[in-house]
Amino acid sequence: MKLAIRGSVLTFVKNPFHFPVEESFVFEEDGVVVVEDGKVAFFGPAATGLSQLEEVDEVHHYRDSLIMPGFIDCHVHYPQTEIIGAYGTQLIEWLNKYTFVTEQKFADKNYAEQTAEIFIRELLAAGTTTASVFCTVAPESVDAFFKVSIKYRMRNIAGKVLMDRHAPDALLDTAQSGYDQSKELIEKWHGKDRSLYSITPRFAPTSTPEQMDMTGALWSEFEGTYLQSHISENLDEIKWVKELYPECSDYLAVYEKYGQVGPRAIYGHGIHLSEDELARLSESGTALAHCPTSNLFLGSGLFSAWGASDLKRPVRTGLATDLGGGTSFSQLTSMNEAYKIAQLNGESLSAFHAFYLATRGAAEALYLEDKIGSIAPGFEADLVVMDLKATPLVEHRLSHAENLHDLLFALMILAQLKQLRQHILLVNAWLFEGRVTINILTRATRAFCRPTRK
């Protein structure tokens, strides 16, 4: 089955933090993306791709819209869906008051599946087609998540949380049980359909040295798996880590000691890292997830995207929501808040930099830049189409946009979750029994998506 999607298309090809912005992206005002068997077969100007259009089974022509790679969320907790917007406290109190209470429910697989269904549908409704996801200590929470993820044919990364101290008894495993359960889950889910497994110690304070040692050994044992955790989110957290691991020179040194840094390791936050820690992250190939709405909501601090991307020692960095400390599923909202954080840091984050962090930059942080995050032949065809006339205000403002950057910037500042009513072209979820089925996720999407069919 071959189909074409025509309209204005934007994709990134280089890192705008390191190359001139004008070299970092490709924009086709009238472009066409041809998809075959869930992958991009052709991308280019419609004028030169007309012969391609003659060979396809269906053409979807989106006018007054912007076609982009699906957004990628580098750090998010699906069990915390039900506590989004709970009255804000700082990190440690947040964990004890909300997170640990909520996560105890996820040993019930039915409950976990219901939550995973809501979570994934909300991701897709926000234009997010890939996420790096924390489950809970319960293996059932991982089974539930991947079951739903595969149902929607998504490329997602997820794993069982490892935690053997400083949490309620109902949420604790042991070094051995954590190893055994994680190994079973890796063998069950890693590489199944589009699923990838991430070994997931919550963070250094909730794992004993024995579990930390086991975690590094497990990651080394299973080549190609991921590792995700948290680092330097909160000043009190950093002091606590120093008390628990006094032999380590800094927070990153804890993870280094236990073999938890390197390619496909990604750490949420990294707000208060030293220059030396950033240099070591760069050298090891370890990535950071920038979580703007969470950092503001919990009062954790102001992350510097420019500082992390410094060309002298660049750290792979992607954008993230960090729900439920984060306050929106929408990466457009994350871009909005990332811009404001940059302003408070005395920096300027252009729309090109922000959209890069949510697409190709996030893919690079997850070492998936050869599969997702860009539109090019051979890439997996996870695409989002955004209506540029979704609301009277959006239509009016964008009609006065002076150039592409002005349009993108207004889009990320004005857009709120579902306000733009994104239609998710998760093409890999369309292909059932050799025919194309458009997965309309909400009534809102149905209201504006009226593609012209061949």
Whether 431 has a pLDDT exceeding 60, the answer reads no
Residues of the chain within CATH 2.30.40.10 domain(s) are 2-70+374-448
| Alpha carbon distances (Å) from 321 to 32, 50, 150, 289, 358 | 30, 39, 22, 9, 10
Query: Which pLDDT value is given to residue 11?
Result: 98
Distance of alpha carbon 419 from alpha carbon 175, whole angstroms: 45
Mean pLDDT for 173-180 is 98
pLDDT, tens digit (0-9, with 9 covering 90-100), for 269-312: 999 999 999 999 999 999 999 999 999 999 999 999 999 999 99
Q: Which CATH number fits domain 2-70+374-448: 1.20.140.10, 1.10.10.60, 3.65.10.10, 2.30.40.10?
A: 2.30.40.10
Distance of alpha carbon 251 from alpha carbon 249, whole angstroms: 7
Helix (H) or strand (E) holding 256: helix 251-257
Q: What is the DSSP secondary structure assignment for residue 9, as one 8-state letter?
A: E
Query: Closest Cα partner for 227 from 249, 247, 197?
Result: 197
Q: How many CA atoms lie within 13 A of 247 on its CB side?
A: 6
Distance of alpha carbon 161 from alpha carbon 34, whole angstroms: 39
| Dihedral, CA of residue 393, residue 398, residue 402 and residue 408, to nearest 10 | 110
Query: Which pLDDT value is given to residue 444?
Result: 28
Predicted confidence band of residue 58 (pLDDT cuts 50, 70, 90) = confident
Mean pLDDT for 368-372 is 97
Query: Which pLDDT value is given to residue 428?
Result: 53
- Read off the amino acid at residue 229: S
In 126-190, which residue ranges form alpha helices assigned H by DSSP? 139-151, 175-189
Tokens 């069950």 belong to 188
Cβ distance 136 to 202 under 8 Å?
no
| Dihedral, CA of residue 289, residue 321, residue 164 and residue 83, to nearest 10 | 170
Query: Which pLDDT value is given to residue 102?
Result: 96
pTM: 0.93
Output 414 or 321, whichever has higher pLDDT: 321
Cβ distance 382 to 422 under 8 Å?
no
pLDDT, tens digit (0-9, with 9 covering 90-100), for 185-198: 999 999 999 999 99
Class of domain 71-365: alpha beta
Cis peptide before 324, with omega less than 30 degrees from 0?
Answer: yes
Tokens 């208060």 belong to 272
Beta-bridge partners for 161 = 200
Predicted confidence band of residue 416 (pLDDT cuts 50, 70, 90) = low
Residues of the chain within CATH 3.20.20.140 domain(s) are 71-365
* Alpha-carbon dihedral sign for residues 292, 298, 300, 302: positive
Distance of alpha carbon 77 from alpha carbon 194, whole angstroms: 19
